[in-house]
A and B are shown apart, each in its own frame.
Chain A
Amino acid sequence: MVEHRPLRDLVAYLVLSLGVVIFAFPVYVAFVASTYDAATVVSGNLPLVPGGRMLENYYRAVFVGGSRFMNQPVGVLLANSFITAIGIALGKIFISILSAFAIVYFRFPFRKTAFWIIFITLMLPVEVRIYPTYKIVADLRMLDTYAGLILPLIASATGTLLFRQFFMTIPDELLEASRIDGAGPLRFFWDTLLPLSMTTVAALFVIQFIYGWNQYLWPLLITTKDSMQTIVIGIKKMLTTTDELAEWQLAMATAVLAMLPPVAVVVFMQRLFVKGLVETEK
């Protein structure tokens, strides 16, 4: 039923616009702050229009680095964050799609047990198992490495559950048809299951990329070298000063830059989502 009521539309638009303003305003303020010099930002009287030092601030943030506490340029931090987030997203997809494949399509002893053990890890996020995880990573000499940043965050149940639910909606006849067509388990996985899972893979990629990107506690714990820090840690460190003016304009520039990759991932993947939703038919 499509009704045209101008007043209702107007109210809806007003409410939505208000929501957009509430969410977007802090981001806008961060952007504005990144276009002034440090003194203006700290003075507390930040104008609402962008200032003239945008190019200079961003140039310093990306290529030069900030104060003496933050001597790595943002470019390095971005790269670290990028490698970590991609590593977590891809690693998690790889592990969870394979484990879900095993759990749904193979009959082996303790299959249910394996599933429940994976399921139980949902109750143990990184924060809860932080000490043992740190101990293991330290013993494996993976502090200050990408492996140390990535591996502990790959292990979790969400992806496995997501793929398991999806696989269970695929009709058994498809597997049987594959068997009759002479496809072994891996061929079935590669030729049929994976292509059909592409939208789920995309969804998981978005979620896990952002999850990896936003990690704070874990990178803070296991990275000591500045050159291994992620951008989220970098922002925090930029503001740690003793007696000099915190370089808020650089921190804000960094924050704006830190927002861009997740936004890009969401925007790009959203197309794939919609395409997948329209096209998929089981």
Chain B
Amino acid sequence: MANVTLRNVRKVYPGGFEAIKGIDFEVGDGQFCVLVGPSGCGKSTLLRMVAGLETISSGEIDIGGRIVNAIEPAERDIAMVFQNYALYPHMSVYNNMAYGLRNRRVPENEIKTRVEDAARILELGTMLERKPRQLSGGQRQRVAMGRAIVRQPKVFLFDEPLSNLDAKLRIAMRVEIRKLQRRLATTAIYVTHDQLEAMTLADILVVMNGGKVEQIGNPLEIYQKPATTFVASFIGAPPMNLMPIEAVRAQLHGADAVPAEAGQLGIRPEDFELGDTVPAGGIGLDLRVDAIEHVGAETYVYGARQDVGHNDSLSATANDVIVRLPGTTAPDIGSRIRAVAPRTKLHMFSADGRQRLAV
């Protein structure tokens, strides 16, 4: 049972490359914290620093009231689940789970109880004598989980544990991990690049980019009020439509109410609907339907804006707008539609995208 606190943590590699540029956050006891970000954003490095596998250049990491900067991984009271599971190939499932305990000189009968408990929870009971190579990907994943559970650590660390599984299994394991963590009430830090995984698992979501934290908060809050354009486009699929404010000023109802500092405007695809009348303070865009994606319960329409002149110096992406429609009904490709969104659904950001503005 432990809080994990990071205070101004930095990682500078010998070559001078600064991978982590000063990070502060706190994970409360029993909370599930997810670090999410694109490849190379430093999320794995940060997790490995918590684990003790990477040195900390400056700052402090505190696990359960103890500063662990100079403490060996084995002494930090953590357990880690690796992306490739890192099971010992030559050991049976039982020994894989028991190994860490044996190194800690836990009595053999205690080891047996713990391993069998973990095996029961993870439904590995019949496989204890097998070698990892005789297991499927999902089973190996569970053995890796079991190895973490038997340790009864203060903190679980997960480094993209599901990315080697197929899509269906990934969703099933995601639910299992969450249930398990709730049941054991152990603090967890989980790294993923999959924003859906991040949204569904997290109590606290930490969105990272370029070695820095972009936003910390609960997932829905982050979804509803992204602090920067990076977060806005990273969280949510398909991503939020972002347009320069100049390109939509004419389409914005009550454009005068736009804050002076506003540089960019964002609207989530699901916040559009088809209609002729623009709600007060809202926005209405004329689109030509370029492509349609049916995903079953909903339909994504990829449209190109028709209400901006060809001379407008807009990047191609700013001209493209994604609209989510419910169900399977969709306009024909090539047809014209008018997508409208109310004022409350608009997101405004400063020109550099670093700051969210009140609408």
Contacts and interface: CB of A to CB of B under 8 A. Distances in A.
B53 A192 contact: no
Interface string B68-100: 000011100011101110111110000000011
Contact of B100 (A171, A173, A182): A182
Interface of B: 51-53, 72-74, 78-80, 82-84, 86-90, 99-100, 103-104, 132-133, 147
Interface in A172-223: 173-174, 176-177, 179-183, 187, 191-192, 195-196
Given A187-B103, A191-B99, A281-B133, A179 B53 contact: yes
Contacts of A68: none
Nearest to B148: A180
A174 B100 CA distance: 13
Contact of A281 (B89, B99, B104): B89
A269 B143 CA distance: 33
Contacts of A135: none
A280 B99 contact: no
Given A171-B84, A281-B133, A181 B100 contact: yes
A16 to B, nearest CB: 34
A174 B133 CA distance: 15
Interface in A237-282: 279-282
Interface of A: 171, 173-174, 176-177, 179-183, 187, 191-192, 195-196, 279-282
Contacts of B147: 177, 181
Given A180-B100, A181-B103, 5 more contacts: A173-B82, A174-B86, A176-B82, A192-B88, A196-B90
Contact of A180 (B73, B132, B133): B73
Contacts of B104: 182
Contacts of B103: 181-183, 187
A188 to B, nearest CB: 10
Most chain A C-beta atoms within 10 Å of own C-beta, residue among B83, B99, B132:
B99
Given A182-B103, A187-B103, A177 B80 contact: yes
Contacts of A171: 84, 86
Select the residue from A177, A179, A279, A280 with max chain B CB neighbours within 10 A. Answer: A177
Contacts of A174: 86, 88
Contacts of B84: 171, 173
A279 B131 CA distance: 10
13 contacts: A173-B83, A174-B86, A176-B51, A176-B73, A177-B82, A179-B72, A179-B73, A180-B51, A180-B100, A181-B99, A191-B99, A196-B90, A281-B133
Contacts of B72: 179
A195 B90 contact: yes
A174 B103 CA distance: 15
A278 to B, nearest CB: 10
Most buried by A among B52, B73, B79, B133: B73
Given A171-B86, A173-B82, A173-B86, A179 B74 contact: yes
B86 to A, nearest CB: 4
B127 to A, nearest CB: 16
Contact of B80 (A176, A183, A191): A176
B74 A182 contact: yes
A192 B91 CA distance: 9
A280 B74 CA distance: 28
A229 to B, nearest CB: 42
A177 B132 CA distance: 15
A192 B100 CA distance: 13
Contacts of A176: 51, 53, 73, 80, 82, 86
Nearest to A198: B90
Contacts of A192: 88, 90
B23 to A, nearest CB: 21
B78 A180 contact: yes
A139 to B, nearest CB: 45
Contacts of B52: 179-180
A196 B99 CA distance: 16
A42 B89 CA distance: 59
Nearest to B104: A182
A173 B52 CA distance: 13
Contacts of B100: 180-182
A181 B90 contact: no
A154 to B, nearest CB: 27
A181 B133 CA distance: 21
Nearest to A173: B86
